Amino acid sequence: MAVSLLRSTRRKVVATATAAIVVAGGLFAGFGTNLFGPDRLCDGWVSAADAERALGGGGRLGDSVTRATGAGTEGPAVSCTVERGGWWPGGDQRRLTVMVTSERPRFPFELSAWKITGGSAVLTGATAGAVEERTGWGLLPEACAGRASGTREGLRPVIRVSSSPADADRDASGAILRSAADAVARAAGCAERAAGDGVVLESPSTLRETVPDEVCGIAGFALPELRGSAGAGVQERTSGSFGSGWFCDLSFSGDERNGPFTRFAVVRDPSLASPLAESGARQVVCGSGKAYLAVDNVSYPWEPEERAAAGLPPETELAELFATKVTPVVTAECR
């Protein structure tokens, strides 16, 4: 009888230990992933899978929705924050915020506010925009202005995403922008195309040395020999494609503090091109539509004589040179 009692006690101990291991394993899985959480967050704007990829790390996902003023608890969302905390005490807490807002009519190509560069991942298609490591934005259909909560008539309706810390996955942020834009537009009854229609996220190239007679990778596009301080060479970074939106930044090697001294763009995507239509950018007939060729001299800190000493032509001459050399390449792509 004593032997039987001992065996019974051992079985109970083993069963209890096994159950503890199973529970601990379940808790770890719950803290390390969103296994027991919802598939979608923020009123369906964001998938849990995209939020996990964007935020990285570990911990359960939670969301907090801000709704339109006076709309009550069931009103449309205007912003949402997804949080992910580490499973260990004091672990890093990561946040991702998605919001609907309005920008001025010429966003993103306003004077002194050029919002797309060769260093950004370019989102084109049904949702056009740009994504960086910490922030991103996407354009809602123009019909959403004043109809989607958080937007105003006469301004550009925009979806924005930001994350903290500043190391969000760009592909995931692009997917979140696309998903949120589609959800907001459908809820407001202003969707024009499905979010997945032709949407492409073009990642930026590596920073590379500029070939003098093939600037920005375009054969025949040559600039005078440029000379940075202490003989610094010229480097470039490109993003996008001629089929939708193509962007190139030129900078001097070792001048990370001042950044690019000139940016170039070729824009065909209608939603991105519309702000350039009245800006004086060169128009090129492109199939049944138009392409816009733009030059942005940003706010590089040099005087006119310094610009001349560096070998860079005046702004008007540079814009004409760019248009002359790039137009044949663009029109060939349009065929």
Element (H, E) at 162: strand 156-164
pLDDT of residue 32: 39
Sign of CA dihedral 216, 218, 219, 220: negative
Within 10 angstroms of residue 274's Cβ, the number of other Cβ atoms is 17
Adjacent-strand bridge partners of 130: 122, 137
Per-residue tokens: 314: 């005046």
Q: What is the mean pLDDT of residues 235-246?
A: 91
Q: Give the HSE-up count for residue 316: Cα atoms under 13 Å, Cβ half-sphere.
A: 0
pLDDT digits (tens, 9 = 90+) for 1-32: 444 444 454 454 444 433 333 333 333 333 33
Q: Is 258 exposed, middle or buried (0-12, 13-18, 19+ CB in 10 A)?
A: middle
Question: Among residues 74, 56, 57, 55, which one has the least CA distance to residue 65?
Answer: 74
Partners of 94 in the β-ladder:
84
- Per-residue pLDDT for 250 more than 90? yes
Q: DSSP readout, 198-230?
A: T-EEEPPPPPEEPPTTSGGG-TT--------GG
Token pair recorded at residue 178: 């696309």
CA-CA-CA-CA torsion sign (35, 41, 45, 51): negative
Cα 181–Cα 186–Cα 37 angle in degrees, nearest 5: 65
Q: How many CA atoms lie within 13 A of 11 on its CB side?
A: 6
Q: Residue 132: what pLDDT?
A: 86
HEC string of 172-196?
HHHHHHHHHHHHHHHHHCCCCCCCC
Residue 134, pLDDT score? 84
- For the entire predicted model, the pTM comes to 0.81
| Counts for the chain of helices (H) and strands (E), in that order | 6, 18
Instruction: Say if CB 204 and CB 120 are below 8 A apart.
Output: yes
Q: Is residue 335 predicted with pLDDT exceeding 80? A: no
pLDDT at site 197:
62
Provide the pLDDT confidence category of residue 130 given band limits of 50, 70 and 90.
Answer: very high
Cα(251)–Cα(322) distance, integer angstroms = 16
What pLDDT, in 10s, does the model give residues 151-209? 999 999 999 999 887 667 888 999 999 999 999 999 999 987 665 566 788 999 999 99
| pLDDT level of residue 251 (50, 70, 90 thresholds) | very high
Burial level of 2, CB count in 10 A (0-12/13-18/19+)?
exposed
Average pLDDT of the segment spanning 292-303: 84
Mean pLDDT, the chain, integer:
81
Q: Which helix (H) or strand (E) holds 83?
A: strand 77-85
